[in-house]
Amino acid sequence: MSLIPALSMLLVHGSTNFGHNRKQGALMRRFSRKTVVIAAGIFVLIVGAGVAYAYWTNTGSGTGEATTGTNDSVVINQTSTVTGLAPGVPAQVLSGNFDNPNDSPVFVTEVTATVTGTDQDGCDATDYTIGGSAPVNAQVPAGGGVGSWSGLTIQFNNKAGANQDACKNAVVAIAYAAN
């Protein structure tokens, strides 16, 4: 008979053989019910400790994955108004802000500008000069019209000995880039 059923019969009946063997029954009655309960409790603690120990020493392994996203380019806005460019007129300031379509900030190092042309025949990008630098070195938050940049200028090039009348009332196209 195994130990657990024997302890169970001993607790309930005071014997493991229901009186079939008098000598054995007399021996079992010598142990009080309290002694049997204490012995059973100790047994449960020992077995439980073994299970708990096995639980705490379990190990495992697994795998997982993560992905990185990409970001969309920021749009560079010119917010300064430039008018009256002409030979001999001082350079005018270019400045602006950004539209950041991303869900999080993006870092912008600097803004650069290039004159790409005009809307007038006979007047081209060589008639204008972009000067200065526009360091930003900052996080541009998500949203429209955010952050700022400045430090660039635009000036009309006075080409000595050349007729530049074609540039009168010209709209100058400026391309901005950020890095």
User: Is the per-residue pLDDT at 126 higher than 90?
Assistant: yes
pLDDT tens-place string over residues 18-41 = 555 555 555 555 667 777 778 777
Nearest residue to 116 (alpha-carbon basis) of 132, 105, 106, 128: 128
For position 45, what pLDDT does the model report? 74
User: Is the per-residue pLDDT at 176 higher than 80?
Assistant: yes
Question: What residue ranges do the domains of the chain occupy?
Answer: 3-56, 75-158+170-178
Q: For the chain, what percent of residues have pLDDT higher than 70?
A: 76
Q: Are 112 and 139 in contact (CB under 8 A)?
A: no
Nearest residue to 95 (alpha-carbon basis) of 149, 143, 24, 18: 149
